[in-house]
Every structure is written in C-alpha cells, then in structure tokens.
Amino acid sequence: METPVFKARGHILPLNRPYIMGILNVTPDSFSDGGRYFSPAAALKRARELEAEGADILDVGGQSTRPGHRPIPWEEEWERLSAVLPGILRETALPVSIDTFYPQVAKKALEMGAHIINDVGGFPDEMLEAVAGSGCGCVVMCPAGGGEDIFAQVKNFFLDRLAAAGRFGIEKARLCFDPGIGFGKTLDENLALIARVDKTRIPGIAYLMAASRKRVTGAPCGDPPFNERLPATIAAHTAAILGGADIVRVHDAAPGKQAALMAAALKRAYSF
C-alpha cells in the first residue's frame, strides 16, 4: 500500500512519521512569546534555532489569534511578515508555513516563496481560490465548536472543505486538517479532540494537532504560566500522535521532537 504524503511546493512529507512544526510569531502580542521575535534579526535567529532543534516546518505568523486579540488589517500583517520572510526563506532549508486568514497575505507570501498556508479561518472558498494554482500545502483548521457531537461537527467540516478544495483543483495530498484546539470549543471538547484523533481523521490526508501552551494544557494542571506548560503540551501531543496525528505544532522544538519520536516508537510497538 502506497504511503500517503503531504505536498508543499516541492517539499514532500511522507505520512509515515510525525513531523514538528515550529512556531515563530513575529508579533508584539502573541499569548506566550509576544514581542520576543518581532525584529527581523530576532526572527531569523529563532528560525535557525528551530531548524537546529529538529523542526521539520516553520510556521510564521504576523497576527496573534489568542482569545480577545485585536485583529489587524492585512496590510499591517503583511508588513510584519515581509520584513522577515526573505531572510528565513534564504537561510533555512525547511518548508515555510504562513499563518494567515487573509487571502491577500497568502498570495503575497506565496509570490515571495512560502510553501504552506495555515488558515485558522478554515480555508473558505476565497482562500482556496487564492492559493489554488500555487502548489502550496494547505492547513485547514476547523474554527467552530459547540455542536451536539463535536466529532461529527469537525469531521463534517473537513469533508466539506475537502470537496471544496476539489472544486478548485487542489489535490488531497496538498491538504492537512487541524481540529482547531482552542478555537470556539469548550475544554471538554478540546480534550476529546486531542484524545480521539481517530474520530475526526480522514484516511490519507495529513492531520495536525496544535495544543502547545494553550489553555487546554493549563486547565487540568492548575493553570501554570504559559511558558511552564511544556510537560502538559508533550502529554497532549503524544496522545494525538498515538491517535494518528502526523504533525504537531510546537513552541519548543527539541523536546517536542524527542517526545514525537518516542510516541512514534510506541505506536509501532503497539502492533509488534
């Protein structure tokens, strides 16, 4: 049986091991590391660090999507991203993902050479149209929750976006689905989605879990500060990988990589 892959503009990731997506926020107000990598020099230094620590993908964001954030216009988001992207693309060998819900920003980033668009807005048709002919990877996050059956709600959303992508000529190998931990969902819904990836995963399509330092990793543990949630993050992502997640999005690449490799080894051993 042929191994499915995730395609991202010349980068092909076989879905036979877990991948680490390293978070690089070039914002002054992200929930856990706002302002640390806002300057181009600091952002490039951090990109190199993430690559050295074992990240497989860099996810660069120019706008915070933390609870209660103040949205900025696309022009301001692009100003932040365009200051750091050339250096990152030039000096790292990793596929670069752009975390944006603006089609205008996606187009400009792809023209500059980005490889993946990661849209927390759920990849509406306007975004699909913007990226259709680019060959980029598309991380499609489910931004909703609160339904009677969270598993059915998320999976039906994925199936809808899969059909929509097909109408725009986007092959399924370019898609990666993300259940949207922390977006419009209760704590119990978030925990359930982490624990039961098998309930929402569509066979043959990449699946991303992004719980790093989020409230779901704090609430069961006495709400430690954001930067003290690494053990809880590792526990959540390990469960997700055992359930079938292919990519985990992390702030801490080195420990995240080590944990992912161990989780993969345990998953293989399960059928020993």
pLDDT in tens, 106-159: 999 999 999 999 999 999 999 999 999 999 999 999 998 887 899 999 999 999
- Of residues 270 and 8, which shows the higher confidence score? 8
Instruction: State the angle between helix axes of 187-195 and 150-167 in degrees (0 to 180), rounded to the nearest 10.
Output: 70
Contact in structure between 193 and 179 (CB atoms under 8 Å): yes
Pairwise CA distance, residues 170 & 180, whole Å? 21
Pairwise CA distance, residues 88 & 47, whole Å? 7
214 among known catalytic residues: yes
Active-site pick, 46, 214, 229, 257: 214
Residues 6 or more apart whose CB falls under 8 angstroms from that of 24 comprise 37, 43, 46, 47, 50, 58, 59, 60, 61, 88
Pairwise CA distance, residues 119 & 98, whole Å? 8
Nearest Cα to Cα of residue 85 among 26, 21, 132: 26
pLDDT exceeds 60 at position 30? no
**Class for domain 18-270, per CATH?**
alpha beta
pLDDT exceeds 50 at position 31? no
pLDDT exceeds 90 at position 238? yes
Residues 37-91 have pLDDT tens digits of 668 888 999 999 999 999 999 999 998 776 666 788 999 999 999 999 999 999 9
Contact in structure between 13 and 206 (CB atoms under 8 Å): yes
Residues 149-206 have pLDDT tens digits of 999 999 999 999 999 999 999 999 999 999 999 999 999 999 999 999 999 999 999 9
Tell me, yes or no, if the pTM score tops 0.85.
yes
* The predicted structure's pLDDT at residue 186: 95
Q: Could you tell me what percent of the chain has a pLDDT over 70?
A: 94
* The predicted structure's pLDDT at residue 272: 66
Residue with tokens 């092959």: 171
Contact in structure between 245 and 199 (CB atoms under 8 Å): no
249 among known catalytic residues: yes
Tokens, residue 31: 């929930």
Nearest Cα to Cα of residue 93 among 78, 115, 108, 77: 115
Q: State how far the alpha carbon of 126 is from the alpha carbons of 38, 53, 103, 164, in Å.
A: 29, 36, 7, 11
Nearest Cα to Cα of residue 96 among 66, 52, 51: 51
pLDDT exceeds 60 at position 35? no
Pairwise CA distance, residues 73 & 82, whole Å? 14
Helix boundaries (H) for 114-229 = 125-131, 150-167, 187-195, 215-218
Pairwise CA distance, residues 122 & 143, whole Å? 6
SS3 call for 62: coil
* The predicted structure's pLDDT at residue 99: 96
Pairwise CA distance, residues 215 & 226, whole Å? 8
**C-alpha radius of gyration, the chain, whole number:** 17
Nearest Cα to Cα of residue 130 among 111, 103, 161: 103
Pairwise CA distance, residues 175 & 81, whole Å? 23
